[in-house]
Each structure stands twice: as C-alpha cells, then as structure tokens.
Structure 1
Amino acid sequence: MLDNPAFAALTGPHTRFAERHGHAVRYRPEVCPMAALPDDPSAADWADAAVLVGAGQSMFLPVVSVTAPTDWGVTMQMPGVQMIDQSAAGVPDPEAIELGAADVPEMTDLVRRTEPGPFRPRTIELGTYLGIRRNGRLIAMGGERLHLPGWTEISAVCTDPDFRGQRLASRLILALVHGIRQRGEIPFLHAAATNTNAIRLYETLGFVVRREVMFQVFTAPR
C-alpha cells in the first residue's frame, strides 16, 4: 500500500473524501489536491483520469513514478523520499492543542508563510491536527493526511520563523506519533529529496527512509 498510498487511502479509509471516475480517483479539491491511479495504469485508466479532472486541468500524483500518455503534459516532477517510523519516542506534548475548523484561517496563514506543502480549507478533516500557541498566536502545527489501513501519514509540520530552534516541530511530530500508535497504526511521512534538513530531523526522531519517490503533476489533454 505504501507504494501507492493515495490510491490505498482514497479507496479505503478516505473513501468519503473521494471523487471517482472509473479507476481514477482524487480527493475533493477543497480537501486535498492529490489524485491516484491504480498501479501500472493502463490507457483506459488515463482516459478515466482525463474525464475526472477535466480537459486542460491538472492532476497531482504523489509517490508513484509513472509515465503519462503523450497527449498529457508534465508540469512538475519532484523527487522525494518516503520515511516510516522505526523507533520514534512518541509522547504527548503538554503544550500541544488539537486544532479545529475555527483555526483554519490561522493554519492557512502559517502554511502560506512556511510552505510545508499543500493545505486546503478542509484538509483538517483528514485527521488530527495539533498546534502550539504563544500569547494566543499559532506558532507551530502538524497533522495527519493520508490514512490507509494500518498507516497514517504525518504532514503539514511547520513552525513560524520567529520561533524556530525551539524543537517545536520535533515535539509535535512525537505527539502525533503517540496518537497514531495509540490507534495501533504506524506513522509515515514524505519529504522532498532536496529538504535534507527535514530528512535529518526525521532520522534523529526515529524515522528511516523506506524508498525514493516521485511527486508529479500532469495536465490532461484539451
């Protein structure tokens, strides 16, 4: 499942967030920009995807490395790594609070300023999101995104630039690890291959690289 986690999530625990045409599936755009195709997608699967996203529209395929038909455009190819929890010391954090719908405007602003990855108005519905506030201001956050049987992805981990160097991201990651393990699941995450600082941080926390991956955005034919 980890080789194609978006497909496993959208056809499993996250079915309620899915839009589907044939074998092509994607999250509702206000929830998450990710889409998915079956392993080794056929020409018919790509045709389903074209109908699903619409002529000239984009489709973000995470993790899998696939070659689209020649009438599709390629607008992004970003190498990354997939990491899984091996020995992280998951523990609750006394300062971390669970974030809700009322916090989304502040969360969106923090994501805009720190760029940890895509975050949409309803992304918070995908799982638990934790934050740390100082003087009422949201200064750090992290949460859960892809959910597949037995696994939950940690995502959107970010810290306000004014508060970096205080291990806030590490504390939130370990708090999320604790919550995921409490459900009997294993945490995993993704990082851009160029984000070596983040990869080193995750390794020091107890995550290991499972495999190299590719994040790709394709544009459907008009």
Structure 2
Amino acid sequence: MIHHIDLTASTNDDARDPQYRHGDVVWAEEQTAGRGQRGHVWSSPKGENLTFSVVLEPTFLPANEQFLLSEAVALALTDTFAAHGIDTRIKWTNDIYAGDRKLVGILIEHNLSGGTLSRSVAGIGINVNQSAFDPALPNPVSMAQLRGRYFDRATLLNAYLESLNRRYAQLEAGDKDGLQRDYRMRLYRLGEEHPYRFPDGTTAPAVMEGVRPSGALILRHEDGAVREYLFKEVEFVL
C-alpha cells in the first residue's frame, strides 16, 4: 500500500514503524531531513520529484549477500527509466546516472535477524519534474530535462513498484547470477579507466571490472593488480 503524506522529516525513518509491512511505501511530498549516502542531505522542492521509501522483508537473504537486494532495487529503476525512453547506468554503490549526471539517489538501511536480513528500507529520491537545481550540486538532472516533458509522479511510482516486484521475485527465486549479470552490464564506467580517490586522499587510475555479491567493487590498477574495495574504501572522482 502507498501511504502518501505531505510533510515528514525522513521517509526512511517513518518506514521503520512496525505498522508498515513488506511492500508498503511511504511517499512524502516534502522531507525536512532526508538522507543520502556518505552522510549527505537529500533535498527536493515540494511537489516536483519523488521521495519515498519501500519496506522489504527479505528474510531469505543471507546478511553477507545483502548487496543483492541493492542490485534488485537499482535494476528496477533502470528498467523503469528504459520504459520511459531514458538510458541510465548504476553508479556504485547505488546512484542512478543518465550520462554523467545524477538522476536518482538511493539509501538502503537493513535490520538483521541472526544470519539473514529481517527488514530493509529502501529510500529513493528521483528527480522527476525539477527544472532548476541548487548550483552547489555538482551534476543533477531530471527526467523532465532529459525528455522535455512533464511526468505524472503517481504513475511513475506505480511503474517503478511493478519493476521492483519483478526484480525482487528474481532475487527470491534465487536467480543471483541473473541479477549480478544485469547489474554488471548496467554499471556506470564499467571497463573504462578513470581516477578513484582513496581514504588517505590520494587518487589513482583504475579500470572497473565489476561488483561482488558482497558489494565490493573490483578494480584493476595500472600495475595489473586486481583489488576489491568496500563502501567508503574508495570513491569516484567525477
């Protein structure tokens, strides 16, 4: 069920309420304290975009494979955009890019029970009809800017939820290889050499080879060494 509200601090925080069960959606017209990855704030003008959280209960998924759920969530977005004539790529870990511009931010938060996931909340912010952005943002873009037309947000949300249901069913059926294959094919900058930044502030060029089910990014360095990096151990230089 979609719970459409006018104002909240954070849809992810709201979706933690036990009243919401698997498949429920909290959609807010405005968030006052929306969160992005790496501690960033997600802001959006009221009524122009989609800011929502989906509650999922993937109790079948081992905790060490939780990134597969992230893959399903992200792939459902690329599926939805493709159906609307927009080619997109997944920027590890979860941003969705159109060309070199950011269209979607995703923040997924998990609860564990023993060795499996018990409850996950996928917070998603899609730039839908916004035409003017804060100049401090490095590279935003909206669907309206890309396609030159207005999009009905409720229709778009329902289209995404249908795509998510298909990708989640693929995950639940155990088709991990299929998800991994599709995710890899849609990775932003796959097979290209670009600079990456490391925690000590240094940068070095490397070629992205793929992503493990754990979420580790696989990079091949100039010396031929292949290394794996988890979230916060490396970041893109844009």
Q: TM-score range by the shorter chain?
A: under 0.3
Higher RCO, Cα 8 Å, sep 6+: 1
Using the size of structure 1 for normalisation, the TM-score is 0.24
